[in-house]
Amino acid sequence: MVYYKVTIFTGDHLYATTSDSVCIKLVGTDGESDHTWAKAGTEYGFTLSCPESIGKLVLIKLNKQSYLFEDDWFPAKVEVKSPEGDTYTFPIYRWITDSEVHHFREGTALKVFEDKNPLGRDSREKELKQRAEDYCWKVYAEGIPHCMDVEEESSLPPEVLFSYTKSTEFKFTAAAGLAELKLKRLADCKKKWTDIEGIKRVFCCKETAIKEYVQEHWKEDAFFGYQFLNGINPMLIRRCTALPNNFPVTDGMVFLRGQSSLKEEMKKGNIFLVDYKLLDGVKANIINGKKQYLMAPLVLLHKTPEDELMPVAIQLKQTPADDNPIFFPTDSEYDWLMAKIFVRSADFNMHQLNAHLLRTHLLPEVFAVSLLRNVPMVHPLYKLLIPHTRYTLHINHMARNRLISESGVFTQIAASGGEGMIEILRRFTSSMTYSSLCIPDDIKERGLKSVPNFYYRDDGLRLWKSIHRFVQGVLGYYYQNDAEVKQDSELQKWISDIFAHGFLSKESTGIPQSFTSVAEMVKFVTMVIFTCSAQHAAVNSGQYDYGGWMPNAPSSLQLPPPTKKGTTSEATMLETFPDVNTTANGMAALWLLSKQSTDFVRLGDYPEEHFTEETPRKLINELNGRLKVLKTRIKVREILKVPYTYLKPDMVENSVAI
């Protein structure tokens, strides 16, 4: 008789334990144990006997049996010490909600061509067959990335749902925000704002230091320019070497500090352009029964000798015309301010649909669905990426139902909501490139490598470098050469599905259709992790900071832009702003989307131990060491008037979870 020491660990989720009886069977290369009943406490150990050794352990079979009702269980892992003295770890980290028998592989990562054991191969194939049924593709709308095919939230697999803690907090935050607006009679008020002071009373108890700064400085040109670098949409600005033909600005029109000409400043690399051309011609929304207005502006900015980025010219429509004047800082106060307000409204809409929704929600869903469909738990890629998919499918399902649906919040508050939204998303999808998703390439292409005080770039590049080094270490450990990459059919299916369902098989995007080398794979996986963590933090976490003061980021505008100068006033501005309820509901949505959950998992934390080998675990520790150094570096910078902390590693969530 030989003995196996078995320890079952239950996860630390709320309600993770079960009152059901648990049954376990060990499966090895030379046989298997009998079914053995056990308990499912936080940590439960027992001894399992076999007539003789069952060889090297391959997998365990686990199930539970209910008495009166099913009691869900979240096992974390099972550890087994064999009579030969070897310790085997079986990572699980998923809910078991039924009485079916579930198979879990021993934790050593195996690529498909390394999985020689027939029992292991059979388990691998069955797992992927079930996953293909659980995670199906759906075309939400033609011309945009595909999503997971699931109708009801309750139909999502338990392993991708919010935790009880996350779900409860999310609902409470949403309800509390709405209740405050109802008490103030703002949520349903369809009137226009009559004074700027009234806007200050919306969510006056929900202040942040940056929101207060924005409220005080939103009219200033220097702050207007600063937001293109370090606000929540640092993705549009680019160095300008030649003015577009449809933006006829001349030296006589603009004043540049330092007395240089426009051409000379361009040669020096001091002129920058922001172009919202992808919004041109889109049908704007109707809100509260009233037509809304969404412009496609062009903005010219100048880097001054003091290293400030100052706007010098704004054209609100793409086609030059007598009724489409170019506005300058020398115009009247409200002519210039209204031009900037139309730009900020365009930026709000472009940010929400492109930088935020498309790039850091829809794409991460594609990455996640392809992973879950094509890559089994025992694969090194699954172990590496599964933490970066946490809650993504659930939050995206909620977004489709509650934010961008016909009755969703975004449709009710945004100029780009409603009929025009899908058209805008199609345009953004069509123009998206691989290089724009990789921050080193993106910064280089936009000519922004030497721009001063660009903290998104500085922190983002350091995070990319840290993540890339980590991914290179992990995948380099499992893939010894390019031939192994080409040989891995599961890895190749993962990327081919992403190319087809995320980038709609468009070669012009530059997205690889397959991997031919370790380096190519490492770069793409780095992009995936960066997008799901750092990039999402950069465009999401500051939404309330910069949008909580509505005049700085109007979700919609109710009057067309001025067609000639000298016709605007404070009254015009108030008439143009969105209605009270549109403002209030928009601010509530931004508050909810910026709120951090108490079960937040920061970048670098891997509480679920999917990797059992020493090398990847060591690499995780090294990654955290680098992130601590970066955290300290960013903390030193907090003395700035407007601290940039969105990419501070302990503020970056490991996945798209909100």
Q: State mean pLDDT over 628-645.
A: 94
**pLDDT at position 177, please?**
75
Following DSSP, what letter does each residue of 417-452 receive, concatenated?
A: -THHHHHHHHHHHHH--HHHHSHHHHHHHTT-TT-T
Contact 378, 90 (CB under 8 A): no
3-state helix, strand, coil in the chain (%, to 5): 45, 15, 40
Q: Which two tokens stand for residue 559?
A: 């009057």
Q: Which two tokens stand for residue 569?
A: 């006033």
pLDDT tens by residue, 567-582: 999 999 999 999 999 9
**Backbone φ, ψ for residue 299 (5° rounding):** -125, 130
Q: How far apart are CA 45 and CA 140, in angstroms?
A: 48
Contact 5, 56 (CB under 8 A): no
The DSSP symbol for 356 reads I
Please state, in angstroms and as integers, the Cα–Cα distance from residue 489 to each residue in 101, 375, 486, 493, following that order.
27, 10, 8, 6
Residue 265 φ/ψ region, left for φ over 0, alpha for ψ in the -120 to 50 degree band, beta for the rest:
alpha
Contact 179, 162 (CB under 8 A): no
Contact 496, 515 (CB under 8 A): no
pLDDT tens by residue, 463-517: 999 999 999 999 999 999 999 999 999 999 999 999 999 999 999 999 999 999 9
pLDDT tens by residue, 92-125: 999 999 999 999 999 999 999 999 999 999 999 9
pLDDT tens by residue, 365-412: 999 999 999 999 999 999 999 999 999 999 999 999 999 999 999 999
In this model, does residue 618 exceed pLDDT 70? yes
pLDDT tens by residue, 510-541: 999 999 999 999 999 999 999 999 999 999 99
The DSSP symbol for 153 reads G
pLDDT tens by residue, 22-78: 999 999 999 999 999 998 888 999 999 999 999 999 999 999 998 778 899 999 999
- Buried/exposed code over 464-493 (b: 16+ C-beta within 10 A; e: otherwise): bebbbbbbbbbbebbbeeeeebeebebbbb
In this model, does residue 5 exceed pLDDT 90? yes
pLDDT tens by residue, 221-259: 999 999 999 999 999 999 999 999 999 999 889 877 766
**pLDDT at position 183, please?**
61
CA 165 vs. chain centroid, Å, equals 21
In this model, does residue 651 exceed pLDDT 70? yes
In this model, does residue 193 exceed pLDDT 90? yes
Q: How far apart are CA 9 and CA 43, in angstroms?
A: 5
- Specify the amino acid at residue 636: V
Q: Which two tokens stand for residue 372?
A: 């879950």
The DSSP symbol for 312 reads E
Residue 172's pLDDT band (cuts 50, 70, 90): confident
User: Smallest Cα–Cα separation from 456: which of 234, 169, 147?
Assistant: 234
The DSSP symbol for 317 reads S
Please state, in angstroms and as integers, the Cα–Cα distance from residue 177 to each residue in 31, 172, 174, 180, following that order.
59, 8, 5, 5
Q: Tokens 């376990």 — which residue?
A: 24
Q: How far apart are CA 622 and CA 604, in angstroms?
A: 10
- Specify the amino acid at residue 514: S
User: Percent of the chain, pLDDT > 70?
Assistant: 99
Q: Which two tokens stand for residue 551?
A: 């005049």
Side by side, the strands of the sheet bearing 43-50 are 43-50, 2-10, 75-81, 87-91
User: Smallest Cα–Cα separation from 392: which of 536, 177, 502, 497?
Assistant: 536
**Alpha-helix runs per DSSP H in 531-607:** 536-540, 543-547, 570-576, 580-594
Q: State mean pLDDT over 302-323.
A: 97
User: Percent of the chain, pLDDT > 90?
Assistant: 90
**pLDDT at position 13, please?**
87
